[in-house]
Amino acid sequence: MDDQQEKEELKQLAQCLKDFLGLDRYYTNPYSILYFLSNQTLAHIEENKHIRFSSAEIAKSVAKVKSEPSAWISQNWKKINSDLKQKYEKSLSEFALSRGLNKYPWVAKIDSTGGAGVQAQYHIVGLEIDTSIVAKSDNLFADEPYDIQYVAVQNLKPSYLARFIFNNNDTAIGWRKWLLVFTPLAQIILYLLFALVFILAFDKKSHPINTQDLVYLMFVYLAYRGCKYTYQRSSIFFDDRLIMASDHLLGFKEANVVQEIVTVNDAEGEFLYKKVQLVKYVSVCKVCGSQVVLEKGEPSFLRRIVGRCKESPREHVYSFDRVTKKGLRLI
């Protein structure tokens, strides 16, 4: 392979990583190091400069670390190459495939050969895509028209409750899945008991209606609203297979996550089992380039989950097809 071709490939890999990271920004050091490397690799290819970066270069730009850059980088390198790689591998591989790449971009480390002042270097590389983990459906829908393409980002911050139910990589399988069915049922029973207590208390009164009775009635009404809300949410979830995840399941500051039922088939297409998973799908707005996240479609699109641009949530609205992961502009 000649130099020019190698450069072109590296450029595509770096661009792929940069765009993928740009879908959902995080302000952590490992994330910033990856972003720095993809961004600087692109810039340096254009300027014909070096494409391997030393610990000091990275540490100075990313975190303004002046002393001991090697120690700072090694600490973050462990997170990049284990946790982050595991989290990103599937979605980043799918993202790379959708761009026609046959490898997915990641970062490699070249250990220093020793000697005073010689530091480890980091650079962008293409890694083999593990075809057993990527969604096979992608090619089936290659001809589907679309305006934007959604990517599932894997680094969710679920609540403690969700970590218990969705314990398998943000997925609930087996008996934990049934908890999601029985929890709303238990909630409805609790609301009914709550209402019953106040109805009985109200019933025992012999004097004319006073303020206390009105408070009781208000509680009965609130219990009724609670029942109705819980019932509607669960019936929509089982009918539509997709619902915005409840706030109870999400960590602080986490939003725009959906809870979906997914059918898992084997390689021959035979049904294996169903699972429930929490996923955050994001995309980039075709109009203004901002992030598109999923939200409820109401009031304009009843009972639908749509992609809304963060900069113009009422105007730049896209459909969301959870099977093809594609969206068309609705407004």
What binding mask, one character per residue, do residues 273-312 give for Zn ion by CB under 5 A, x or -? ------------x-xx-x------------------x-xx
Cα–Cα distance measured from residue 27 to residue 31, given in angstroms and rounded to the nearest whole number: 7
Q: Are 124 and 17 in contact (CB under 8 A)?
A: yes
Helical residues (DSSP H) of 48-203, grouped into ranges: 55-63, 69-79, 85-98, 160-165, 175-203
Binding segment toward Zn ion, per CB under 5 A, in 6-14, 57-65, 154-162, 313-321: 313-321
Query: At closest approach, how far in Å is the CB of 288 from Zn ion?
Result: 3
Nearer to Zn ion (CB atom), residue 80 or residue 148? 148
Number of residues that bind Zn ion (CB under 5 A): 8
Characterize the bridge pairing of strands 242-244 and 291-296.
unpaired
Q: What is the DSSP letter of 115?
A: S
**Computed from CA positions of residues 265, 270, 275, 277, in that sequence, does the dihedral angle turn out positive or negative?**
positive
What's the closest the beta carbon of residue 269 comes to Zn ion, in angstroms? 38
- Minimum distance between the CB of residue 293 and Zn ion, rounded to whole angstroms? 11
Q: Which is nearer to Zn ion, 18 or 316 (CB)?
A: 316
Q: What share of the chain is helix, strand, coil (3-state, %, to 5)?
A: 45, 20, 35
Least distance to Zn ion from the beta carbon of 31, Å? 23
Contact with Zn ion (CB under 5 A) among 90, 275, 316, 322? 316
Based on the shown chain and the rule CB under 5 A, indicate whether residue 331 belongs to the binding site for Zn ion: no
Counting Cβ atoms within 10 Å, is residue 163 exposed (0-12), middle (13-18) or buried (19+)?
Answer: middle
**Residues forming a β-bridge with 127:** 104
Contact letters for Zn ion, residues 84-113 (x by CB under 5 A): ------------------------------
Q: Where along the sequence are the contacts to Zn ion (CB under 5 A)? A: 285, 287-288, 290, 309, 311-312, 316
